[in-house]
């Protein structure tokens, strides 16, 4: 590997290097990205299990110069290889989950079908396995004092990371960028569904003191009641409400500062790419009309740092696969790079 201090960021990216063309290895990198190729419970479009590989490939087209954070890359970013065994397990259980979803969608009784009972059990056991695997992967890196990011996969993937982050940093809050609440209890019968990630996080991880959601625009009445009855632990900024406020004269600056004001000192960002307008993510798993402009989200993130709060980790999920131009991966790679820069900038070397 090359010495990163001598690396020319304006040179052509070497495909034999790591993410963003950086000549780094895991030992020398300050920030390590853990890919999680998993999409067992996705309920609409599939493909995100293979997003990490597509984002890795697209990352070689990302210019390293970021005027906001011009030198953070010099501390080294490294992405682990996707674990093929995890991907194979996801592919197998995904087929099982599809059969189960098709069965219940016809109003059939699960308890009357022994095969479907077995299928549901296998899928739920797979979710437990994945959570434990993510926990062990991220805990190992955090114990080495690495900055850690997670790249999905569907939005069920970061639960084990939340647990590891809580053990490392103590109490923290999550800023969730998303079109959906993700507050469903065992959606479609799957305990660790992608639609249940925040429900499970709040139930299982007491270190999460606050969940602040932004961009929400597609949800069920049960999720709405979960938010309303959370005694302020969940604060939601709905897409429609934010738009109406701006139509009536409110600035994005004032809204962004209000969102940030709800967060505690230590902040984790959970970024479901479908929180953006679909033009940025046409092949995401569960697209919804509306959503943020990408620069709005970047501005919001910058306000977290400007407030003096500390970013302790992040995940990026639901990047889709499809089309002739790999547009989703292109956008995903650029979002990933910006978030890496933010995480490193928020944790200066002392």
Query: What is the pLDDT confidence band of residue 2, given thresholds at 50, 70 and 90?
Result: low
Give the pLDDT confidence score for residue 192 in this predicted structure.
Answer: 97
pLDDT at 297 over 60: yes
Domains of the chain: 15-345 (3.40.800.10)
Query: What is the pLDDT confidence band of residue 42, given thresholds at 50, 70 and 90?
Result: confident
pLDDT at 5 over 80: no
Query: Span 309-314, mean pLDDT?
Result: 98
Crossing angle of helices 114-143/84-105, nearest 10°? 140
**Model pTM?**
0.96
pLDDT tens, residue by residue, 50-106 = 999 999 999 999 999 999 999 999 999 999 999 999 999 999 999 999 999 999 999
pLDDT tens, residue by residue, 208-243 = 999 999 999 999 999 999 999 999 999 999 999 999
Quick one: tokens of 211? 């969940």
Closest CA to 308 of 341, 253, 268, 267: 267
pLDDT at 182 over 60: yes
Average pLDDT of the chain to the nearest whole number: 95
How do the residues of the chain divide into helix, strand and coil, expressed in percent and rounded to 5?
50, 15, 35
Sign of CA dihedral 212, 216, 222, 228: positive
């Amino acid at each position: 590997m090359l010495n990163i201090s001598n690396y020319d960021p304006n040179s052509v990216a070497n495909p034999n290097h790591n993410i963003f063309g950086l000549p780094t290895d895991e030992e020398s990198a300050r920030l390590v990205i853990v890919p999680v190729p998993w999409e067992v419970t996705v309920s609409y479009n599939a493909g995100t299990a293979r997003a990490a590989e597509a984002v890795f490939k697209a990352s070689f087209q990302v210019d390293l110069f970021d005027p906001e954070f011009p030198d953070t890359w010099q501390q080294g970013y490294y992405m682990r290889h996707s674990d093929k065994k995890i991907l194979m397990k996801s592919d197998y259980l995904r087929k099982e989950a599809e059969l189960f979803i098709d069965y219940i969608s016809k109003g059939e009784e699960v308890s009357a079908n022994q095969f479907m009972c077995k299928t549901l059990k296998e899928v739920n056991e797979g979710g437990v396995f994945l959570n434990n695997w993510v926990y062990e992967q991220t805990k190992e890196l955090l114990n080495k004092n690495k900055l850690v990011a997670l790249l999905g996969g569907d939005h069920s993937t970061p639960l084990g990371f939340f647990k590891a982050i809580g053990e490392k940093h103590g109490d923290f809050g999550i800023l969730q960028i998303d079109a959906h609440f993700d507050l469903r209890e065992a959606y479609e019968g799957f305990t660790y569904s992608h639609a249940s990630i925040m429900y499970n996080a709040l139930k299982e991880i007491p270190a999460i003191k606050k969940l602040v959601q932004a961009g929400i625009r597609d949800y069920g009445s049960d999720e709405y009641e979960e938010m309303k009855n959370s005694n302020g632990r969940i604060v939601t900024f709905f897409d429609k409400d934010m738009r109406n406020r701006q139509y009536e004269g409110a600035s994005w600056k004032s809204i962004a500062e209000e969102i940030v004001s709800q967060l505690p000192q230590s902040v984790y960002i959970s970024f479901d790419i479908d929180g953006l307008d679909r033009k940025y993510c046409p092949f995401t798993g569960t697209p919804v009309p509306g959503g943020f402009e990408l620069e709005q989200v970047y501005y919001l993130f910058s306000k977290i740092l400007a407030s003096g709060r500390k970013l302790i980790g992040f995940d990026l999920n639901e990047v889709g696969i499809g089309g002739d131009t790999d547009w989703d991966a292109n956008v995903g790679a650029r979002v990933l790079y910006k978030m890496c820069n933010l995480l490193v900038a928020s944790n200066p070397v002392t």
